[in-house]
Amino acid sequence: MHDQTPVINWIENGVPFSQMFNDPFYSTENGIDETLHVFLNGNGLPERFCDGFQVAELGFGTGLNMLVSINEFIRSNNKGKLKYISFEAFPLSANQIAKALSKFPTLNSDIILDHWTQETLEIKTEQYEIQIIVGDARKTLKHWAGEADAWFLDGFAPSRNPELWGLDLMRDVATHTKPFGTFSTYSSAGFIRRNLTNVGFNVTKSTGFGKKRHMTKGIKL
């Protein structure tokens, strides 16, 4: 069991809020719609889904992005498997995840909760393969042997969690991206766009979700 369970508060609409990073785990407006807009649509999904498609994520959080991705992969009637790997330094407890996901009854939270120990784990079924790597992504990502078709860059706000947005880590992201692979993030911070450009992505701003004017997405050249 992980010995540093994050302390969180529950704010409007039952959204978990990190005391450590002073930031909510997902939108207070609609977490599923945010995931669909920023991470799925931002990466051209579900249209790009195919057997063996690899999603990689920085910041597992409550697992919401993963569950929405699995749901959309299944809804798209793809045959085969979706692969999903996520890197998380501060895993929530099972009770915290269960409470956070209880407001999304259309998602099957048991995919996570039936296996969750706050430690690195791997789950395989006929429809998906999941890896959750617990630890600092600046140390763990470089040891991953895979390459992503799409990245979900979902750390807390760069001003509060700069470690997850630095140039060295973005270089590791690029190294572990297939040619013409993509990324998306809710953030439009200038230094993030510059870092991702400097490691080989063609970076663009697009319309953000809800009250956020802009987000960032890109493709590896």
Please give the Cα distance from 35 to 23 (Å, whole number): 16
Q: b/e string for 130-168 if b means 16 or more Cβ within 10 A?
A: bbbbbeebeebbeebeeebbbbbbbbbbbeebeebbeee
pTM of the predicted structure, to 2 decimals: 0.96
Sign of dihedral through CA atoms 12, 69, 148, 194?
A: negative
The pLDDT, as a whole number, for residue 1 is 45
- The per-residue pLDDT string of the chain (221 residues; one tens digit each, 9 = 90 and over) reads 455 799 999 998 899 999 999 999 999 999 999 999 999 999 999 999 999 999 999 999 999 999 999 999 999 998 899 999 999 999 999 999 999 999 999 999 999 999 999 999 999 999 999 999 999 999 999 999 999 999 999 999 999 999 999 999 999 999 999 999 999 999 999 999 999 999 999 999 999 999 889 999 999 98
pLDDT digits (tens, 9 = 90+) for 116-143: 999 999 999 999 999 999 999 999 999 9
Please state, as a whole number, how many other Cβ atoms lie within 10 Å of the Cβ of residue 48.
13
> Given strand 121-124, what is the order of strands in its sheet?
121-124, 128-134, 82-88, 53-58, 148-153, 177-185, 214-220, 201-207
How many Å is the Cα radius of gyration of the chain?
A: 16
At 90, list the tokens. 């501060």
DSSP label at 142?
A: G
With CA atoms as reference, report the closest residue to 35 among 68, 72, 2.
68
CA separation for the pair 39, 154 (Å, rounded):
9
- Residue 81 burial (10 A CB sphere; 0-12, 13-18, 19+): middle
122 sits in which H/E element: strand 121-124
Strand partners, 85: 56, 131
Domains along the sequence of the chain with CATH: 32-89+117-220 (3.40.50.150)
* Strands laid side by side in the 16-18 sheet: 8-10, 16-18, 23-24
Among residues 104, 54, 65, 71, the alpha carbon closest in space to that of 88 is found at 65
Type of residue found at 184: S
